[in-house]
Amino acid sequence: MDSPASLWNAFTAAFTRADVPNITWVEMLLSLAAAVALSIPHGTWRYFGLLATTIHELGHAFAAVTSGQRLSGIRLRLDHSGTTTSYSRSRVAAAWSCFWGYPVPAMVGAAFVWCGLRGWGPAAMAVSALVLAASLIFLRNLAGFLITAAAIAAAAVLTILAPASVVGHVAVIFGLALLVAAVRDLLKLTQVHVRRRGSLGTSDAYLLYRTTSVPSGVWIALFTLLVAGSWLVAWQPVSVILLEGAWNR
C-alpha cells in the first residue's frame, strides 16, 4: 500500500501539465454521447444531477464570499434541490450571489473541456477535489456532506491513480456533461415561469426580480447568454477535432 506521502506527491504532481491526450473524432463523438447519457436519461441524471446541483450552489457560495457577504451554509438534497444561505445589507451583493447559480455549471464545464484537451485534465480534477473539500465546512446537512464526499473521493482517486491521458478523457466527458446539464436546468427554469408558476418561489430568476425589480425574463436571458457563451467556448476545440476527422475520412 502506498504511503500517505507518496499519495500526496502523486496528487500534487497533477498540477504540472501532462501530455495532450490524443482524442480522435470517434472518441469525441463517444464523449458527446457519454455526456448526453449522463445528463438526459432519468436513471443517470438521478445521480449526475446531484453533482450539477452542487456546482450550482457553489456558484452562489463563491459569489457571496467574493462580494463580502456572510456565508451561513449550504444544503444539498437528494431531490436535486439546494439552498445557499448568505447575509448582506446590500441589494447589489445579494443579487450578485443569487445570479451565479445557473451559469456556473456551464462555465465549469467549458473549463473542464479546455483543460482536458490541453493536458491540464489532471490539474482540473485536482483543483475540483480541493474546492469541494473546502466547501465541506459550509455544508449543513448529511445529504450534502455525503454527496460532496463522494465527489471528492472520485476526483481524488482519478487524480492519484488514473493515467493522465485517462483523466484528460474523463475531464472532457465531465465538462460536456455539465454543459448539457446546464441547458437541461435552464429549460426546467423556463418551464417554471411558463407552465408552473406556482413554483416561482424556487426560481433564482424570480428571486432576482424580487431583489432588483428587473423582470425575471431579463435574468433568464442573461443566464441563457452565459450558458450559450460557455458552449461556444467549449465547442471550438471540440469542433476542430470533429472537422479534422471528417476531413481525413
- Residue 115: inside a domain, yes or no? yes
* pLDDT one-digit tens code per residue, 154-164: 999 999 999 99
- Residue 148: inside a domain, yes or no? yes
pLDDT over 80 (residue 249): no
Which structural domain, as residue segments, surrounds residue 221?
20-248
212: nearest Cα among 38, 107, 47, 93: 93
- Residue 137: inside a domain, yes or no? yes
Is the Cα torsion angle 203, 207, 212, 215 positive or negative in sign?
Answer: positive
- Residue 4: inside a domain, yes or no? no
* pLDDT one-digit tens code per residue, 72-121: 999 999 999 999 999 988 999 999 999 999 999 999 999 999 999 999 99
pLDDT for res 156: 95
* pLDDT one-digit tens code per residue, 83-94: 999 998 899 999
- Residue 244: inside a domain, yes or no? yes
pLDDT for res 2: 66
Share of the chain above pLDDT 70, in %: 96
204: nearest Cα among 178, 223, 230: 223
pLDDT over 90 (residue 197): no
The predicted model gives 2-18 an average pLDDT of 86
Q: Please list the residues that pair with 82 across neighbouring strands.
A: 76
Q: How far apart are CA 95 and CA 50, in angstroms?
A: 24
Q: How far apart are CA 215 and CA 206, in angstroms?
A: 8
- Residue 13: inside a domain, yes or no? no
pLDDT for res 244: 82
Mean pLDDT over all residues of the chain?
A: 93
The DSSP secondary-structure symbol of 202 reads G
Share of the chain above pLDDT 90, in %: 85
pLDDT for res 6: 84
Q: What is the pTM of this model?
A: 0.94
pLDDT for res 1: 52
Q: How many structural domains does the chain have?
A: 1
- Residue 12: inside a domain, yes or no? no
- Residue 67: inside a domain, yes or no? yes
Q: How far apart are CA 216 and CA 209, in angstroms?
A: 5
